[in-house]
Amino acid sequence: MNSIELVESFSEFKDFKNIDRPTVMRVLEDVFRTLLRKKYGSDDNFDVIVNTDKGDLEIWHRRSIVEDGEVEDAVAEISITDAQLIEPDYQVGEEAYEQIKIDDFGRRSVLAARQTLISRIMELEKDEVYKKYKDRVGDIITAEVYQVWKKEVLLLDDDGNELLLPKTEQIKSDFYKKGDTVRAVIRRVEMKNNNPVVILSRTDTAFLAKLLELEVPEIFDGLIVIKKIVREPGEKAKVAVESYDDRIDPVGACVGMKGSRIHGIVRELKNENIDIINFTNNMQLLIQRSLAPAKITSVEINEETKRVSVFLKPDQVSLAIGRGGMNIKLASRLTEYDIDVFRDSDEDTGDYDIDLEEFSDEIDSWIIDQLKAIGCDTARSVLELDKDELIRRADLEEETINEVLRILRSEFED
């Protein structure tokens, strides 16, 4: 194996591993200096020249020329007679240069050098991946699905590096197959068994924060600040935002004209319902805003127990609680207070009801609009009507009405 073949073999390995050529050359030089020290005891009198353009490697032995019989160190000195065998014009006092062939090290040493190089380059590759992603924790990345397993999905980035998206970091309705493109946030980077492991997430609040930053220029520019995010991935999220510019409406800027900015994020998060809230240090007002769309009558805050009693009109209770208690749960996490809801009327309020909008993840919005058009805004208002009357008044197919009734009844059964 000559020097050109050796360098080319490592160049191919380098290209595959995405390590830059100069780095490979530095490692190559270091490995051969190690071979020189093993063979000659020192590498001080050797020049290792790596030509990155030609892909060639040369080793030159440099020695001082002395009179015959005066050689004390064969590595550092050479007699005039031996020097003139290399080049007839050499004179005493000059330095003689003799090229060392790679074959002179022996095939076994060269093969050992190759294995050392491969090992060193693999270590460099691992370090590069670790450093690259360690500095990008919290950033969004787009990667391609390479393999889908039961507990995680293996993805590849543009450079062929492996990334992991665990099942626990996926939205419940996420479904992937090989070749799909996935967007996620880099949650953490760790070393396991000396291998870098990059963990991605689509459920982390940082993912929603970065999506908002990408969609809302005012957030990217720092004019609007995200104060806090709480979410149940794929279901509902509440985002508290504040503007540092009085001329900017933070909620309107995040939602966009006719929802243009928020709709893209909602689709990315599998129709996750996102409430944008104007942050305030007035806790009573923040609690009222966090329970939107419900309209609060009054609020009583107990700072010692960190509990809040919220009073609402009977028709607002279902809105405050939300489907499955999701709205009030997120409001509690956003404000960091336990919230108790009370009706502020002694009249008989009837059975618990749920606003139709809370079923938007299972019932198409146009169907909900049709039902609202005939005066049915809540689940019970639909269930109280006869099926035939619903079909006639809402102008919907019987199959559609049957499915709507099934979804609404199952919620109250639960």
pTM: 0.64
> How many Å apart are CA 154 and CA 180, to the nearest integer?
11
What kind of fold does domain 3-131 have according to CATH? Answer: N Utilization Substance Protein A; Chain:P; domain 4 (3.30.1480)
> How many Å apart are CA 93 and CA 72, to the nearest integer?
15
Q: Which residues is 192 bridged to in the sheet?
A: 195
Local confidence band at 207 (pLDDT 50, 70, 90 cut-offs): very high
Residue of 133, 189, 193 lying closest to 158 (CA atoms):
133
pLDDT for the residue numbered 346? 47
Phi, psi dihedrals of residue 131, rounded to the nearest 5°: -65, -40
> How many Å apart are CA 412 and CA 379, to the nearest integer?
9
pLDDT for the residue numbered 117? 75
Local confidence band at 123 (pLDDT 50, 70, 90 cut-offs): confident
Four-way CATH pick for 136-203: 2.40.50.140, 3.40.50.300, 3.40.190.10, 3.90.226.10: 2.40.50.140
pLDDT for the residue numbered 189? 92
Q: Give the mean pLDDT of 274-291.
A: 92
pLDDT for the residue numbered 336? 92
> How many Å apart are CA 290 and CA 327, to the nearest integer?
8
Q: Give the mean pLDDT of 275-292.
A: 92
Task: Give yes or no for a contact between 292 and 344, defined as CB atoms under 8 angstroms apart.
Answer: no
Residue of 117, 95, 93, 101 lying closest to 9 (CA atoms):
117
Local confidence band at 14 (pLDDT 50, 70, 90 cut-offs): very low
pLDDT averaged over every residue in the chain: 85
Place of tokens 């909602």: 266
More confident residue, 306 or 56: 306
H/E element, 10 = helix 3-17
Query: What does the pLDDT look like over 330-357, one tens digit per residue?
Result: 999 999 999 988 887 544 445 567 878 7
- pLDDT at position 13 over 80: no
Task: Give yes or no for a contact between 351 and 380, defined as CB atoms under 8 angstroms apart.
Answer: yes
> How many Å apart are CA 47 and CA 17, to the nearest integer?
28
- pLDDT at position 149 over 90: yes
